[in-house]
A and B are shown apart, each in its own frame.
Chain A
Amino acid sequence: MGSLANNRNLLGALFMAPAAVILLVFLTYPLGLGAWLGLTDTKIGRPGEFIGLDNFRSLADDAVFWLSVFNTLVYTAVASVFKFVLGLWLALLLNKNIAIKSFIRAIMLLPFIVPTVLSAIVFWWIFDAQFSIISWTLKKFGLIDQYIDFLGEPWNARFSVIAANVWRGIPFVAISLLAGLQTIPVSLYEAATLDGASRWQMFRHVTYPLLTPIIAVVMTFSVLFTFTDFQLIYAITRGGPVNATHLMATLSFQRAIPGGQLAEGAAIATAMIPFLVFAILISFFGLQRRKWQQGAEN
């Protein structure tokens, strides 16, 4: 018994078992099942048969599918850039010697903590065509004559949902980058100051290079979660107007669950994977390489 209890491999397997069983049954298996479903003609209430790549062929001719791919790419790219720039700015501001810093840090995380669907509903109300508080304020100041149709026009709608996504994502980026900033030794800035470096030079040659590894990880997560976003779109626009804000995830849901075309939905979900891997590689290695270059220079 004693030797059994101390056998690393056996004990390891035993300790891993609960997590492994749950993940294999409810994560690994459905991942494979999803790929398989995409190759069948399964509908709700009807088991499907293998039909090869037919779903993907019909998707290739499907204008709505390509529109959703376009929307997803625009949504991910624009939202990620804004989240990065504004999040980094906020992190730099919070890294300064400011009053009630911990309180500010605590309340600015609220958008990240609160359920996305519930804050999205608030944005839905803020973007209301007739009673938008933004339109009302802008009109009061005489900046616009007519209420803005936030969710009725394709590009307005796209930028509205992007704004809501950026709003929710800034705190995560800022807090993570702030944690990275706090690990940079103050002595480096002191040395740079003695060498007469300007504020921009210090940011460019001290802060940014030392922050790149954490930027890479944070932005990889951010790109990943933005690309696969579902809740926010579903709550605010449901993909409208005329599919202008449909992301691949919402289109997949639309076709599979209310539409009943499980196989087609699964095919769309499968089609997300290559984009996803590509997006991760770009954001991760794109930023990692700069780190290597930096290392090679020194």
Chain B
Amino acid sequence: MSALKQSDEGGMGYLETGMSKLVTVYLPLAVFLFVLLFPFYWMAITTFKGKDELYDYERYSPFWVSNPTFENIRKLLFDTSYPEWLWNTMLVAVVATFLSLAASVFAAYAIERLRFQGSKGVGMAIFLAYLIPPSILFIPLATMVFKLGLFDTRLALILTYPTFLIPFCTWLLMGYFRTIPFELEECALIDGASRWQILTKIILPLAVPGLISAGIFAFTLSWNEFIYALTFISSSENKTVPVGVLTELVEGDVYHWGSLMAGALFGSLPVAILYSFFVEYYVAGLTGAVKE
């Protein structure tokens, strides 16, 4: 009996069974999941609640929708500029991602594989650049954007988002390129391939998973960006989703919780859907960025 108990307390998971595992593993895990996911549930059901139901917790259970309505969504899509915000966010995120990815591939290849003089220092500088937060850059960037005549344009966002995307993507791709064996390149060099051919014909095809990781991560970061979009954009038709929802859907002291939640839901869905297709790449990108 005591020997059995001893092994029960051991570290090997397969020896843990029954009640103890239920209480020590599944119960806390369920609580974690409930807390982490409840806000999304709350967001979703509020979206479909009508006005009377939204504020009446006595007659209707707040945890369920009794009379689902599309009124909030209709209002969001037809009475506000929400479709334009979605389009702006999409456009800025896609263009900034491709720009940054292209610049990062060359930079990462140069640092990791060409090993030019000072490449170690440049690699370190890229990492430090990633640590510089947007919240200390937005004021000087705002004055620059204004001087360049880019204030209130989407181009201002397309040009400034790479400041956090390039360091991140380059750092991620550097780690990825490191895993591709040197011998492949040496063979190609001996066969007379140029550096350009090596990059496009050998390295890039092998780095596709890394490129996907960096790409979808960059897209998500652009989609989530807030402070630059809040500072550099003033007119409603140029706003992105996060800024538009927060600044345009709140009128004075009146909070239209229904349409606010609908705005949050539809702003979250595109990244959530993208995420659901590329979960493994996300995890690889996330852990790859901190591992090095």
Q: Give CA–CA (A22, B106) in the complex, Å.
A: 13
Q: Does residue A159 face the partner (Cβ distance < 8 Å to B)?
A: no
* Majority secondary structure of chain A interface residues (helix, strand, loop or mixed): helix
Interface-located stretch among B176-184, B204-212, B278-286: B278-286
With A27-B163, A117-B242, A190-B12 known as contacts, the answer to whether A90 contacts B32 (CB < 8 A) is yes
Q: A-B pairs with the 4 shortest C-beta distances?
A: A12-B116, A97-B13, A15-B110, A228-B133
CB <8 Å contact, A228 and B10 = no
Tell me which residues across on chain B come within 8 A of A89, comparing CB atoms. Answer: 28
With A110-B37, A118-B264 known as contacts, the answer to whether A23 contacts B227 (CB < 8 A) is no
Interface positions, chain B 200-248, Cβ under 8 Å from A, are: 220, 223-224, 226-227, 230-231, 241-243, 245-246
Tell me which residues across on chain A come within 8 A of B90, comparing CB atoms. Answer: none
A–B Cβ pairs within 8 angstroms, 26 of them = A15-B106, A20-B107, A23-B166, A23-B167, A90-B32, A93-B29, A94-B29, A108-B36, A112-B286, A114-B40, A117-B224, A117-B242, A118-B242, A121-B264, A123-B39, A131-B55, A131-B57, A179-B291, A190-B11, A198-B9, A228-B135, A231-B242, A234-B226, A257-B142, A262-B143, A280-B131
Q: Give CA–CA (A206, B220) in the complex, Å.
A: 36
CB <8 Å contact, B33 and A96 = no
Q: Does residue A113 face the partner (Cβ distance < 8 Å to B)?
A: yes
CB <8 Å contact, B36 and A37 = no
Between A12, A172, A235, A270, the greatest number of chain B beta carbons within 10 A of the residue's beta carbon is seen for A12
With A115-B241, A117-B246, A228-B135 known as contacts, the answer to whether A125 contacts B46 (CB < 8 A) is yes
Q: Does residue A63 face the partner (Cβ distance < 8 Å to B)?
A: no
CB <8 Å contact, A230 and B135 = yes
CB <8 Å contact, B35 and A167 = yes
Interface residues, chain A, with chain B CB atoms under 8 Å away: 5-6, 8-9, 11-13, 15-20, 22-23, 26-27, 29-31, 33-34, 37, 42, 86, 89-90, 93-94, 96-98, 102, 104-119, 121-123, 125-126, 128, 130-131, 133, 136, 167, 170-172, 175-176, 179, 186, 189-190, 192-193, 196-199, 202, 214, 217-218, 221, 224-225, 228-231, 234-235, 249, 252-253, 256-257, 262, 265-266, 269-270, 272-273, 276, 280
Closest Cβ neighbor of B160 among chain A residues? A26
Min Cβ gap A161→B in Å is: 14
CB <8 Å contact, B29 and A98 = yes
With A12-B110, A122-B264, A269-B136 known as contacts, the answer to whether A106 contacts B246 (CB < 8 A) is no
Min Cβ gap A179→B in Å is: 4
CB <8 Å contact, B226 and A34 = no
CB <8 Å contact, B117 and A9 = yes
Interface positions, chain B 24-78, Cβ under 8 Å from A, are: 25-26, 28-29, 32-33, 35-37, 39-40, 42-43, 46, 54-55, 57, 62-63
Between B12, B114, B245, B263, the greatest number of chain A beta carbons within 10 A of the residue's beta carbon is seen for B114
Q: Does residue B119 face the partner (Cβ distance < 8 Å to A)?
A: yes
Min Cβ gap A180→B in Å is: 8
CB <8 Å contact, A266 and B139 = yes
Q: Does residue B2 face the partner (Cβ distance < 8 Å to A)?
A: no
CB <8 Å contact, B13 and A96 = yes
With A31-B132, A93-B25 known as contacts, the answer to whether A113 contacts B282 (CB < 8 A) is yes
Tell me which residues across on chain B come within 8 A of A105, comparing CB atoms. Answer: 283
CB <8 Å contact, B104 and A19 = yes
Q: Does residue B124 face the partner (Cβ distance < 8 Å to A)?
A: no
CB <8 Å contact, A231 and B226 = yes
Tell me which residues across on chain B come within 8 A of A190, comparing CB atoms. Answer: 11-12
